[in-house]
Amino acid sequence: MLEASIIDGCGPITAFFRIALPITTPALATVGTFVFLGVWNEFLFALLMLSRPALRTLNLSVYMLRGQYSSDHGLMAAGVIILVTPAIIIYTLFQEQVVKGLTAGALKG
């Protein structure tokens, strides 16, 4: 398709924005959503590398709310709700594109 568009007179930038980008949008949305979720849910690196409380990520801060003998479960639940909300919003916005990206190669016909 790219070669045909270039033969028809499209420049490389026009061919990219009008042909290649619309075709790859579901795959880009899927990869972008998974990368966002992976970075947002990162815990182990922060646990091992960050020692100052000012640098802690939200995941690590919620983890640090637990105590050795008791925990404030209400405060931890509130932190988890705050932690999960952006991921749910991002996935909801890109849900259709993610499904298209995951099923694009699985369909015959």
For residue 89, the model assigns a pLDDT of 93
For residue 11, the model assigns a pLDDT of 86
pLDDT in tens, 29-88: 888 888 998 888 888 988 899 889 898 888 888 888 888 888 889 999 999 999 999 989
What is the pLDDT confidence band of residue 18, given thresholds at 50, 70 and 90?
A: confident
Burial class (CB in 10 A: 0-12, 13-18, 19+), 10: middle
Q: Using the 8-state DSSP alphabet, how is residue 66 labeled? A: B
Instruction: Check residues 8 and 79 and name the one with the higher pLDDT.
Output: 79
Residue 96 pLDDT greater than 80, yes or no:
yes
For residue 19, the model assigns a pLDDT of 84
| Total residues found in the chain within this entry | 109
1 three-state secondary structure: coil
